[in-house]
Structure 1
Amino acid sequence: MRSNRVRTTALAATALLAALSLTACSDNGSGDNGKAGAAAPAGSTADQRSPAATTPDSGKDAKDTKDTDSTSNAPAENTAANSKGSTSGTGGQKSNTGATGNKGTGNSSPVTCTGSNTKVTVSKVSRPINHLLLTATNTGSVPCYAYHAPALGFDDAQAAFPVLRDSIPQAVVTLAPGQSAYASIGLSGEPDGQELHKGTNLTVHFTGKSNQGSTGARAKLTLPAGTQWGDNGFVTYWQSDMADALTY
Structure 2
Amino acid sequence: MRISHRRAARAAAPSVLVAVLALAGVQAAAQSADAAPKKATAITACTTAKTKVTVTPVTRPINHLLLKATNTSSKPCYAYGAPYLRAGAGAQSSLVWDRNSIPQAVVTLAPGESAYAGIGTYTPDGVHTYKAKTLGVFFSNRAMNGSVGAEKTLKLPHGGVYFNSAASVTYWQNSVEDALN
Report the TM-score when normalising by structure 2: 0.78
Unaligned runs of 5+ in 2: none
**Partner residue of 2:12?**
69
Does residue 100 of structure 2 align to residue 166 of structure 1? yes
Shift of the 212–70 alpha-carbon distance from structure 1 to 2, 3 Å rule, reads closer
Shift of 1:107: 5.0
Check whether the contact 2:134–2:160 (CA below 8 A) recurs between aligned residues: no
Check whether the contact 1:107–1:142 (CA below 8 A) recurs between aligned residues: no
Structure-to-structure mapping, 1:3-82, within 5 angstroms: 58-82=1-25
Structure-to-structure mapping, 1:212-223, within 5 angstroms: 212-223=145-156
| Matched residue type, 1:238 | W
Secondary structure in structure 1 of the residue aligned to 2:157: coil
The aligned length equals 179
Q: What is the CA deviation profile of residues 141-171 of structure 1, one whole-angstrom value per residue up to 9, with x for unaligned ones?
A: 4443322221111232322223323222233
Check whether the contact 2:63–2:123 (CA below 8 A) recurs between aligned residues: no
Shift of the 88–209 alpha-carbon distance from structure 1 to 2, 3 Å rule, reads closer
Choose which of 23, 38, 48 in structure 2 pairs with 1:115: 48
**Partner residue of 1:151?**
84
Distance across 2 between alignment mates of 1:246 and 1:117 = 24
Shift of the 141–108 alpha-carbon distance from structure 1 to 2, 3 Å rule, reads farther
Check whether the contact 2:54–2:68 (CA below 8 A) recurs between aligned residues: yes
**Partner residue of 1:178?**
112
**Partner residue of 1:83?**
26
Check whether the contact 1:149–1:163 (CA below 8 A) recurs between aligned residues: yes
Larger strand proportion of the pair: 2
Does residue 173 of structure 2 align to residue 239 of structure 1? yes
Secondary structure in structure 2 of the residue aligned to 1:114: coil
Shift of 1:234: 2.0
Distance across 2 between alignment mates of 1:165 and 1:115 = 23
Shift of the 195–69 alpha-carbon distance from structure 1 to 2, 3 Å rule, reads closer
| Matched residue type, 1:68 | A
Shift of the 145–194 alpha-carbon distance from structure 1 to 2, 3 Å rule, reads same
Secondary structure in structure 1 of the residue aligned to 2:90: coil
The root-mean-square deviation of aligned C-alpha atoms, in Å, is: 2.9
Shift of 1:246: 0.8
Choose which of 58, 63, 86 in structure 2 pairs with 1:130: 63
Unaligned runs of 5+ in 1: 1-57, 98-105
Larger helix proportion of the pair: 1
Secondary structure in structure 1 of the residue aligned to 2:91: coil
Distance across 1 between alignment mates of 2:15 and 2:125 = 93
Shift of 1:81: 3.9
| Matched residue type, 1:66 | A
- Higher relative contact order structure (alpha carbons within 8 Å, sequence separation ≥ 6): 2
Report the TM-score when normalising by structure 1: 0.60
Secondary structure in structure 2 of the residue aligned to 1:225: helix
Shift of the 85–210 alpha-carbon distance from structure 1 to 2, 3 Å rule, reads closer
